[in-house]
Structure 1
Amino acid sequence: MGADGLLQRKKWDVDFLGILASNEEVYESMGRHKAVFINSQNRLQFFFKVISETPESFPRNQILFTCYSTDLDKYGFEESYADHEYTRTNDLIEFLMDSLVLFKPTKKVLSNYGEVYVATDIRLVPKLESYKVNQQFKAVPIFKEEVHKLTKENFADSLIQGKYIGTAEGISIEPDDTPSIVLWKEGKAYSAYGLFDHHEYAHGGFSFVSNYGVREIPFDTWQNKIYREGNENDMLLFVDQETYSEMERELEAAHPIDEVLRETIQPEVTRLVEESVFEKDEQEENAILPEDDSQDKEEEFLEYFIQTTREMGLQYFEKDLYNFHTAMKSNALTILAGMSGTGKSRLVQAYGRALGLDATQLVFVPVRPSWADDSDLLGYIDTKNMLYRPSDTALVDALFQAQQERGKIFVICFDEMNLSRVEHYFSQFLSVLEMEPNRRILRLYSDRISQQIYNSTQYGPEINIGQNVVFVGTVNIDESTYHFSDKVLDRANVITLDVQPYTMLSSRNTRESKEKTRKPYTYEMFNRFRKQEGSMVLTDDELNFLWEMHLKMQKENKSLGIGPRVVKQIDHYIKNLPPNSYLSRKDAFDIQVVQRILTKLRGPEGLLKGLIGKIVEDRVEGLLFDLIERYNSVSGFAKTRDAIYQKAKELKVNGFTV
């Protein structure tokens, strides 16, 4: 492994926890017979096995790291080159028997040997009496006043507000590696904070976000179960997975600290912060955005959209708002589903307000139970008076206006869409919306009679539905509504929104907000948010997952499956996912499986039981669960698991899924 053979080197600035590997582990992983051996340079070389959680970007199958006896010189290990091989290797095994090791992973690519993973920056830590074989560990970052220049109160307040709190060396900063727990150290005492769902990392270090409110518990109970380097400047420690789960359960049971913290922060600091925020809000309220490119930035729009939902009292998670926006810009039809009273219609209003739409551009069409065909929605020809009579929904007027004013965005919302059968009154739209933009022609009546229609100048025989028109529907799922047919589901993203805990209602700023003066977003600005059709961005693993899922569905029931259209629409959604810290690509793929595929998984137990599976001790055993377990590198599939579990419950209780 001379310098001439070194072609490439990559180092992860992350600390791993490891232990000396066994001969069996080395043989199984690498085909070598010994974990400790004398190499060609007559030096002891050995393998560590990583026993801590590794970053998402790190190769899943890489668990062994090599290093050399010289890495242990600083700990007093002296290798006797004159001794027999057995004695030399046995001395090193005994030296490491009572230790675990902290190290940083480095990949070296050698011309002669290929990829080699090396453990560098070796630090030995004593093995605790509580150590068990096959234990797995998680890294927990440490923050403290001496390093981060914050008091404990300021630290907690920054966590609540999602502010940057500084760095923590040795832990991954990648978006998919959010630690759910962080520690504050004061003297020798620790406090644990959590549970965090995602994070951002920038010049100010970490900022953490908790969807359910930041909580605090003392860490004293677990201090005798930790592994750390032992220096005053330690920035992380390791706890075993069982202990980590205990901490998460205790944090989950604790109360959010928002109200308690507000009482402990110095009143003067609170007053200054509130005055600063108020002055900033007043400046924003009185400001007219300059006519430049800043307004068409998607990040700015989404920040304003989220702010608007908060001002309107809506309690949706940021990841759901990103999901909604991505679906709206990438799909012909988006459907918001859920129980009544969760604010689905108001969410569409908030989206329209964020876009700056006026009353003619944001059109709500209340669906009526009596609608039987598209004439109830669009209108009809009055043959007696030879007039076109548009329906009183104002939909046709809005579509003609959108055809004439291509530079504006129009959002059409069908409210309580499933009070009547969608495939009946919406049939023409279902055919039109899957066509190319220049072929999306909605036919009102025949060209042959257009000259006989007195108001044909106002209401022509056809409407071209441009891409400046976005369709969305709201639905309630109860006994008074109809379920969607596959024809509808094939063309729609069906989003079930989760609301935040009701305790968040009291923490919202209830100060009356004035309508801000903003330039409305034009169609050109909105269209810049869209990533147009092009080469597919789905990975081979994602496509293989969808193909295997299709085959399993087809095997169980020939009427089920995943059509090429759905695959292309999932790809288009992923392509249009904005860069953000709330909804990762893996979570987005998981959401698309639920919204585009599992919504169609309906039917009797006899057809679906093998596919969906059955509940065994709060876990589902079935073909789909086995599939997502095998493809856990594609996504954690949290939403998919929940959806399959719910459908398994429906099969068990009802004998069919809905």
Structure 2
Amino acid sequence: MLQRRKWDVDFLGVLSTNEETYELTGRFKTVFVNSQNYLQFFIKVINETPESFPRNQTLFTCYSTELEKYGFQENYQENEFNRVNELYEFLLDSLVLFKPSRKVLSNHEEVYKAAEIRLIPKLESYKVSQQFIAIPIFSKSVNQMTQEEFVDSLIQGKYVGTAEGISIEADDTPSIVLWKEENTYTAYGMFDKHEYAHGGFSFVSNAGVRTIPFTLWENKVYREGNDDDALLFVDQDTYIEIERELKITPPIIEDLRHTIQPEHAKSIRSDEEVDFEKEVKDDIYLIAEEDMQDKEEEFLEHFINITHEMGLQYYEKDLYNFHTAMKSNALTILAGMSGTGKSKVVQAYGRALGLDASQLIFIPVRPSWSDDTDLLGYVDTKNMLYRPSDTSLVDALFHAQQERNKLFVICFDEMNLSRVEHYFSQFLSVLEMEPNRRMLRLYSDRIAQQIYNSAQYGPEINIGPNVVFVGTVNLDESTYHFSDKVLDRANVITLDVKSYAMLKNRNLRDVKEKTRKPYTFEQYNKFKKQESIVSLTDDELSFLWELHTDMQNENKNLGIGPRVVKQIDNYLKNLPTNTFLSREDAFDIQVVQRILTKLRGPEGLLKSLIGKITEERVEGSLYQLIEKHKNVSKFTKTRSAIHQKAKELKVNGFTV
């Protein structure tokens, strides 16, 4: 009587070597012509198998007919040597996905066969000794839920649906699962056990559900390649690396009193318990916030001392402005006349953070750059290689993608020697997205398997929040002015230089008297406040709306978009507590840096808005507006900027 059993899971395998086949089966060849004159071969499983699967069973037999859908045609007229060699060569550069099955013959002999064969090209990084682990993939299209619903279900221990190809046995809980959103993956873990019922999984995490972007490892995985794939394989070393990153990440929801359990295990708490918990959480939050304020104050003091030691004579309020812009926005631009030390400010900031040469990267912009290939590189289609540009930017971004807890500052020196909108175009679009969606495209996924160095330079790079961009610009006849697309995304800062008499007071003391470790991204990120609710006052919002209305009345292409309002709000929320730069002055600075930089054009268009210079002041609707809103700020910087633009209109007939 013939008995059959099939495990409804996917295994990953590779063509066995002759030595492995002989050791396990007694046959001398992995590929051979069987008694029915068909080519037969052995596949060795290279992934962790279910607990119920026999530990000593690693080889599976298969037939060449399974490969016809991949273009393999067996030539029965050839001699046996050529037939075997052709199949061997055909499989040499592929891994094999398959379903395992077992036949128990009437003589009790067991035969293990690989069914539903699917071929996957080997990555350049493949090593013979590698073992792999399967990770299930969940998605909106397959599991009929949004990512938010999926996360809520994970936290509450609810059922999230099934993932085809993964073991459902109680002893085979995956510690990591993935959510797929378009072409981006997010990892969730660490899970200790699971239940499978009602056609789906529910997971339990004793330490709380944690999450990290998966982009760092996406070029190291094997999967079938379909849109509805529910499984991918990573090697054991990579899997351990992902687990380590998850373990050092705080849980998505932290609760001081209890860990959220599956829905059926929830307990009812009294009002007194809830109030006590809230009071404790608030106290701990305040203590942590005060501690971070002290650490940020210490960092800024160190930064200011370094600028003095380097001979830079800038006002403390301008350095606070620079730091606040850097931590609250993805792109900051230092503008001004040549020779004022803009690049040195960035160097001082990097030194204060303890960044090494691989983390603080200066990229001199060239006038000849016309598109992003000059900055990033290109695909050499003749040799099928990705050729990164000599700027080293791509290497730095891949480094940042691999070292998530390191901070990277990338400075484009003399950024406007070429048109920023051309060579920086991808970045301008990407930097507005959520961190896990900031995917910089180097080349098409369709040719990724054909690029020989795709393991080193994958088709995409994720620009994580640990990468901060800054540019230095000179505004003269040799440079290009920025378009609104750039100005909408950047703080454009002009630093005021102190009196030259201060040069004699250069601080020569050693600022390294304390041994300081480099700031990690996690430490730097704690300087930030990331609340999404807008906290601008009613008066501040009223001023911005009236300013927007005045600009729109003059020209429908002028105005203040919601993006800029949110960025001004984020800047003000992130202003450190200090005695140099008040909130009123910071709001004034933001009006200049985020709004007035875009006020450019001919006299006929802007005259009534900016006004003309009289003996005492500039008369125009903008000036009247800041007079009306004196309760918001004194608008010292704004008045000066309006006065400068009025002079430009008078002398040139246009503003720049």
By the TM > 0.5 criterion, same fold?
A: yes
Distance 1:511 1:340 in 2: 28
Deviations 1:559-599 (A, max 9, x none): 10000000000000001000000000000000000000000
Query: Which residue of 476, 485, 508 maps to 2:506?
Result: 508
Distance 1:351 1:515 in 2: 17
- Deviations for 1:598-643, whole angstroms, at most 9, x for unmatched residues? 0000000000000000000041000000000000000000000000
Matched with 1:478 is 476
CA drift at 1:536 = 1.2
Trace 1:298-377 onto structure 2 (pairs within 5 A): 298-377=296-375
Deviation at 1:509, TM superposition (A): 2.8
Q: Which amino acid aligns with 1:451?
A: Q
Q: Is the 8 A contact 2:409 2:469 kept in 1?
A: yes
SS in 1 for 2:526: helix
Q: Distance in 2 between matches of 1:395 and 1:595?
A: 27
Alpha-carbon distance, 1:510 to partner: 3.2
The equivalences for 1:220-619 within 5 A come to 297-511=295-509, 517-619=515-617
* 1: CA distance, partners of 2:392 / 2:491: 25
Give 2:129's aligned residue: none
Q: Please identify runs of 4+ aligned residues in structure 1 that moved more than 4 A.
A: 293-296, 511-516
Contact 2:334–2:471 (8 Å) recurs in 1: yes
How far does the alpha carbon of each residue in 1:60-118 deviate from its partner, in whole angstroms, 9 at most, with x for none? xxxxxxxxxxxxxxxxxxxxxxxxxxxxxxxxxxxxxxxxxxxxxxxxxxxxxxxxxxx
* Aligned AA (2:561): G
**Given the superposition, is the C-alpha separation of residues 294 and 550 from structure 1 closer, same or farther in structure 2, using an over 3 Å criterion?**
closer
C-alpha contact (below 8 Å) 1:367/1:414 kept by paired residues: yes
- What is the deviation of 1:516? 5.3
Match of 2:632 among 625, 631, 634: 634
Alignment match, 1:646: 644
Distance 1:424 1:629, change over 3 A: same
CA distance in 2, matches of 1:556, 1:512: 54
User: In structure 2, what is the Cα distance between the partners aligned to 1:432 and 1:596?
Assistant: 20
Deviations along 1:227-275, whole A, 9 cap, x unmatched?
xxxxxxxxxxxxxxxxxxxxxxxxxxxxxxxxxxxxxxxxxxxxxxxxx
Amino acid at match of 1:475: V
| Distance 1:645-1:298 versus aligned 2 partners, 3 A rule | same
What percentage of residue pairs aligned between the two structures are identical? Answer: 82
Q: CA deviation at 1:513?
A: 5.8
Q: Distance in 1 between matches of 2:489 and 2:616?
A: 33
Distance 1:364 1:354 in 2: 16
Helix, strand or coil for the counterpart of 1:651?
helix
Q: Which letter does structure 1 place at the counterpart of 2:368?
A: S
Q: TM-score by structure 2 length?
A: 0.55
Residue segments in structure 1 that go unaligned for 5+ positions in a row: 1-292
Q: Which amino acid aligns with 1:528?
A: K
Rounded to whole Å, the distance in 1 between the matches of 2:306 and 2:320 is: 14
Q: For 1:40-119, what aligned pairs fall within 5 Å after superposition?
A: none
Report if the CA contact (8 A) 1:327-1:573 is conserved.
Answer: yes
Partner letter of residue 341 of structure 1? G
Structure 2 CA distance for aligned equivalents of residues 454 and 489 of structure 1? 39
Matching residue of 1:272 = none
> AA paired with 2:450?
Q
- Relative distance call for 1:513 and 1:572 in structure 2 (3 A) is closer
Change in 2 beyond 3 A, CA 1:535/1:512: closer
Given that 1:296 and 1:525 are in contact with CA atoms closer than 8 Å, whether structure 2 keeps it comes out as no
Q: Is the 8 A contact 2:370 2:423 kept in 1?
A: yes
Could you tell me which residue of structure 2 aligns to residue 186 of structure 1? none
Gap change, CA 1:411 and 1:296, over 3 Å in 2: farther
How far apart in 2 are the matches of 1:509 and 1:317? 14
Residue 20 of structure 1 corresponds to none
**Conserved in 1, the CA contact under 8 Å of 2:311 and 2:507?**
no
Output the CA distance in 1 between the equivalents of 2:492 and 2:302: 24
Paired residues of 1:551 and 1:561 also in contact (CA < 8 A): yes
8 Å Cα contact 2:305-2:511 kept in structure 1 = no
Q: Distance in 2 between matches of 1:481 and 1:304?
A: 34
C-alpha distance in 2, partners of 1:365/1:511?
30
Q: State the alpha-carbon separation in 2 of the partners of residues 554 and 329 from structure 1.
A: 31
Instruction: Report the Cα distance in structure 2 between the residues aligned to 1:635 and 1:512, rounded to whole angstroms.
Output: 39
TM-score (norm 1): 0.55
Could you tell me whether the CA contact under 8 Å between 2:334 and 2:495 is conserved in 1?
Answer: yes
CA distance in 2, matches of 1:616, 1:477: 27
Shift of 1:518: 1.3
Q: Deviations over 1:369-389 (max 9, x none)?
A: 000000000000001111000
Amino acid at match of 1:458: Q
Question: 1:359 Cα deviation (Å)?
Answer: 0.3
Give the AA of the match of 1:580: N
Report the 3-state secondary structure (helix = DSSP H, G, I; strand = E; otherwise coil) of the residue aligned with 1:529: coil
Shift of 1:446: 0.4
- 1:403 touches 1:466 (CA, 8 Å); kept in 2? yes
Aligned CA distance change for structure 1 residues 295 and 543 (closer, same or farther; 3 Å): closer
CA contact (8 A) 2:588 2:637 kept: yes
1:629 and 1:555 map into 2 onto residues whose CA distance is 19
Do 2:364 and 2:413's aligned partners in 1 also have CA atoms closer than 8 Å?
Answer: yes
Change in 2 beyond 3 A, CA 1:511/1:535: closer
In the alignment, residue 544 of structure 1 is paired with which amino acid? Answer: S
Cα distance between partner residues in 2 of 1:509 and 1:426? 38
Contact 2:328 2:528 in 1 (8 A): yes
Shift of residue 296, structure 1, vs aligned partner: 8.0
**For 1:557 and 1:427, how far apart are their aligned partners in 2?**
26
- Partners of 2:517 and 2:609 lie apart in 1 by 51
Shift in alpha-carbon separation, 1:499–1:400, aligned structure 2, 3 A: same
Matches within 5 A, 1:160-175: none
Partner amino acid, structure 2, of 1:498: D
Maintained 8 Å contact 1:296/1:521? no
The amino acid of 1:547's aligned partner reads W
Is contact 1:296–1:526 with CA below 8 Å preserved after alignment? Answer: no
Q: How many residues align?
A: 366
Deviation at 1:537, TM superposition (A): 1.2
Cα distance, 1:392 vs structure 2: 0.4
What is the distance in 2 between the residues matched to 1:360 and 1:506?
A: 34
> What SS does the corresponding residue of 2:552 show, helix, strand or coil?
helix
The unaligned stretches of length 5 or more in structure 2 are 1-290
Q: Letter of the aligned partner of 1:565 in structure 2?
A: R
Deviations 1:197-228 (A, max 9, x none): xxxxxxxxxxxxxxxxxxxxxxxxxxxxxxxx
Asked whether the equivalents of residues 296 and 528 of structure 1 are also in contact (C-alpha less than 8 Å), the reply is no
